[in-house]
Structure 1
Amino acid sequence: MASRHIYQQTVDEDVQQNDQNTCPECSGRVTTNSRETVCDDCGLVIAGERIDRGPEWREFDDDSTNSRRAGSPNTVARHDRGIGTEIGWGRDSDDRQLTQEKQRQLYRLRREHRRSKAESTTERNQIQGFVEIRRMTAALGLSQSIRDQGCQLFRTAQDANLLQGRSIEAIATACVYAVCRLNEQPRTFGDTAQVSKMDEERIRHCYRLLNRELDLPVPPAGPEQYLPQIASALDAHHETERRARELLEQADEHCVSNGQNPMGAAAGALYLASRQTGEHLNQDAVADAADVSAVTVRERYRDLQSVATA
């Protein structure tokens, strides 16, 4: 239980789950952070930019003065939390061109400054892990909040000495996968392996390690959580996706999809819904979008069809 306490204290507190509000478009779950309120199911931005984080001045193209006097906001996605110092280029504080000798001197200072940023092996490992997490979350199209939570989980795993003898890239990928599951926006191991430098087996091993040692409160991934991902890949109509969600709810009431691959159940529901709404999605295309076989789609389609006609 101590490891659970560590994770809950260090996880990104910027994200808050608003269970009382629902999306006005699809009645899905709404997530609120410090910047915007977004529906997790359809991606609708309900409210945004409640806090103005921009500068308090205005700049114009014909204004030669540089009014910027503050850096980027603090973030857990960097090992120094974004408060490090950067040495400028080319011009001094009065916007005058530097001499060649002064530019060479600044180049040497930047080089030494870059080397001194990581004072220990721990910080160097954090830099490498955070770079991988930022790259993978961008490739998967995940939000900034999930990126920050992934970096914080990596920091927690490092504090728990889980990186010793293991690949930094594998732990970073497992952190991204775990945070997606924690936010009920799951990605498959195949999806994460496509943007990672590690194979699926090593990602599974590191994820099981994180889940066991940190006692992560990971909810079970249901087929309805994978439904928006498959529908988006197929560019399915919103009515088809809504009908597929209803079929999955009926299947859950009759315990039809218990113990089955959630991706296969979501694919079968979407295929059956497309036939009922007249969209008629191709079976092979649905299987490819869900990364399952066409046989799995047909089997889940028949199971859901028996529930729909009951």
Structure 2
Amino acid sequence: MHDKGLSTNIGWQDKDAYGKSLSTRQRQRMQRLRTWNERFRTRDSKDRNLKQALGEIDRMASALGLPDNVRETASVIYRRALSENLLPGRSIEGVATAALYAAARQAGNPRSLDEFTAVSRVDKMELTRTYRYVIRELKLEIQPADPGSYVPRFVSRLDLSEETQRLARDLLDGAKQAGITSGKSPVGLAASAVYAAALLSNEKVTQSQVSAVADISEVTIRNRYKELLNASEGLTA
């Protein structure tokens, strides 16, 4: 129930408008009114909080091209955070962004931290800190991001072929078998695999173009794609 901005604060003094002390019955009645007033104010505050958060989730999901199921999961995560009182000391925007980031990871439709930071109203450090806090407190099960889950989006945005997409996945599988993916950025691995696969399939794409799509440095691509090709050669040798 919203008060349309016409909220009422019931004072703590047990006196009437003329400063006279209230009777016992009147004091009891005022106490009940204070209790109900506080309940409505608290509920109204949570309603406004939730409305703002869901608006942020929708805005960011649209900007990132995330599907409805990810938005719905993010909304559930945010509601849980709100009901379990995880908001004090943290911004609505920060928890909303963390909820959406977690939901995207759970759905196997991840976006990088940099991509989230670009559309969020909080910086990367706050997002990272809040995300870790939320998944820990809510005991969310988040699997490590799979580099392969980024490949289709990068291939699509670069207008590359299905053959390049298949080769990129093969390169990532080979790298995993060779044990060289541990501790490396999934986004960097995916982008480098796409670049290497494009070279193998004779498609024209530059490191700069891949860098822009994946939002990582050309240096990362340059270093990683050679490692991926070497790992692939090692497995077939």
- TM-score interval, smaller chain: 0.7 to 0.9
| 1:230 alignment partner, one of 137, 147, 154 | 154
| 1:179 alignment partner, one of 103, 113, 127 | 103
Letter of the 1:174 partner, please give it.
A
What displacement does 1:308 show?
2.0
d(CA) in 1 for partners of 2:142 and 2:80?
Answer: 16
Q: Secondary structure at the match of 2:225?
A: helix
Q: Secondary structure at the match of 2:150?
A: helix
| 2:50 alignment partner, one of 126, 133, 148 | 126
User: Which residue of 2 is the match for residue 263 of structure 1?
Assistant: 187
Give the aligned length: 201
Q: Counting strand residues as a fraction of each chain, which structure ranks higher?
A: 1
Letter of the 2:197 partner, please give it.
A
Structure 1 residues 236, 115: closer, same or farther in 2, change over 3 A?
farther
Q: Secondary structure at the match of 2:196?
A: helix
Q: Note if contact 2:95-2:131 (Cα within 8 Å) is conserved in structure 1.
A: yes
Q: Note if contact 1:271-1:301 (Cα within 8 Å) is conserved in structure 2.
A: yes
Q: Note if contact 1:134-1:147 (Cα within 8 Å) is conserved in structure 2.
A: yes
d(CA) in 2 for partners of 1:124 and 1:233?
Answer: 37
Q: Note if contact 1:271-1:280 (Cα within 8 Å) is conserved in structure 2.
A: no
d(CA) in 2 for partners of 1:210 and 1:201?
Answer: 14
Deviations 1:58-114 (A, max 9, x none): xxxxxxxxxxxxxxxxxxxxxx9xxxxxxxxxxxxxxxxxxxxxxxxxxxxxx9779
Q: Do residues 299 (structure 1) and 223 (structure 2) align?
A: yes
d(CA) in 1 for partners of 2:188 and 2:71?
Answer: 28
Q: Note if contact 2:115-2:215 (Cα within 8 Å) is conserved in structure 1.
A: no
* TM-score normalised by L of structure 2: 0.79
Letter of the 1:286 partner, please give it.
V
| 1:288 alignment partner, one of 200, 212, 229 | 212
Q: Do residues 136 (structure 1) and 75 (structure 2) align?
A: no
Q: Note if contact 2:164-2:201 (Cα within 8 Å) is conserved in structure 1.
A: yes
Structure 1 residues 166, 234: closer, same or farther in 2, change over 3 A?
same
Q: Secondary structure at the match of 1:216?
A: coil
d(CA) in 2 for partners of 1:215 and 1:121?
Answer: 26
Structure 1 residues 252, 192: closer, same or farther in 2, change over 3 A?
same
Structure 1 residues 308, 164: closer, same or farther in 2, change over 3 A?
same
Q: Where in structure 2 are the equivalents of 1:268-279 lying within 5 Å? A: 268-279=192-203
What displacement does 1:143 show?
1.2
| 1:160 alignment partner, one of 74, 84, 89 | 84
User: Which residue of 2 is the match for residue 21 of structure 1?
Assistant: none
Letter of the 1:272 partner, please give it.
A
Aligned residues: CA RMSD: 2.1
What displacement does 1:195 show?
1.5
- Structure 2 gap segments, 5+ residues each: 8-39
Letter of the 2:74 partner, please give it.
G
Q: Where in structure 2 are the equivalents of 1:1-310 lying within 5 Å? A: 120-310=44-234
Runs of at least 4 residues off by over 3 Å = 111-119
* TM-score normalised by L of structure 1: 0.61
d(CA) in 2 for partners of 1:221 and 1:125?
Answer: 30
Q: Note if contact 2:108-2:149 (Cα within 8 Å) is conserved in structure 1.
A: yes
Q: Counting helix residues as a fraction of each chain, which structure ranks higher?
A: 2
d(CA) in 1 for partners of 2:211 and 2:69?
Answer: 31
Q: Secondary structure at the match of 1:120?
A: helix
Q: Note if contact 1:154-1:175 (Cα within 8 Å) is conserved in structure 2.
A: yes
Structure 1 residues 138, 199: closer, same or farther in 2, change over 3 A?
same
Letter of the 2:119 partner, please give it.
V
